Amino acid sequence: MKLELNCVSKQYSQDFWALKDFSLQLKPGVLGLLGENGAGKSTLMRIISTITSATTGTILWNGVDIFQNPDAIRENLGYLPQDFGVYPHLNAVEFLEYMAAIKGVHRKEAKTRIEELLHVVNLYDVRKRAIGGYSGGMRQRIGIAQALLNDPKILIVDEPTVGLDPVERVRFRNLLSDLSGDRIVIFSTHIVSDVEATAESIAILSKGHLLHHSSPDELLETVQGKVWEWNVSSSEVQELRKKWMISSTVRSGGGVLLRIVSDESPSNDAQLVSPGMEDAYLHCISSHGKVRQ
């Protein structure tokens, strides 16, 4: 099972490319697609899902060109878009029965599959409750259930944790990890901690370009020896932001503790510390000139 993207680009106007020369090879596991809003993540999701056509490039699913034969991937695809709409007056069972009919799942098979999925997404006990009364996290989980109705080999989820409370975010991330197994899961987000907790590989996008693709450990290695903590006075912070990449600030009684990503020490008073995923992400973006202070 293999998904290959070769020099995929999407041009919306003469001077705007939402995606440019994007190449990647994917095998089963969770890929965290990380980037700021407008980086091109949703465009890429829609192209893989054959909702949007690419301007140039090819995508091969097990060697088959999906632009020439879109059904090859559609029958193996589950998709949860960023703006997932539900029918608020339907309960979970009714909604999933409706979605199964649209997807062409046989009625008898759908009944068994729906019961299984409601247990998987932990909604079985509220299956008769109208979806309009569900929390944001519950709606996202019913969204995952509909995406899994056809038992897809590729599962695409676009910004699924936006707006969820911390408990629901953790539950949803754990669910994605559990679902990976023998399928390709593409998890798009701008929330670094979600990728750090879930993904087996990470792809960083900025302004339509793929900047980096590796395992989380390999990404962290790129910023070893480049993260510093430095105590400064509150009055210095704004001026220091103009000079250094500051990943976090923590106020204390003695001033402000800055966390700085830099190849060199910002001060003799600064202490070298272990990097985190957000430090690595910011270093990757800034080293390609994509971050503005």
pLDDT digits (tens, 9 = 90+) for 144-195: 999 999 989 999 998 888 778 888 888 888 888 888 888 999 999 888 888 8
- Single out the residue of 194, 182, 226, 211 nearest to residue 285, CA to CA: 211
What pLDDT was estimated at residue 191? 86
d(CA 173, CA 165): 12
**Has residue 83 got a pLDDT over 80?**
no
* Cα dist from 158 to 45, 76, 120, 147, whole Å: 7, 17, 20, 12
Mean pLDDT over 20-40 rounds to: 93
**Has residue 291 got a pLDDT over 60?**
no
- For β-strands 154-158 and 184-189, DSSP reports them as parallel
Mean pLDDT over 244-252 rounds to: 90
pTM over 0.85: yes
Q: Is 240 exposed, middle or buried (0-12, 13-18, 19+ CB in 10 A)?
A: middle
Half-sphere exposure of 165 (CA within 13 A, CB side): 4
Q: Tokens 């247990």 sit at which residue? A: 119
**Residue 79 contacts residue 147 (beta carbons within 8 Å):** yes
Phi first, then psi: give them for residue 255, nearest 5 degrees: 135, -135
- Beta bridge mates, 228: 260, 272
What pLDDT was estimated at residue 292? 39
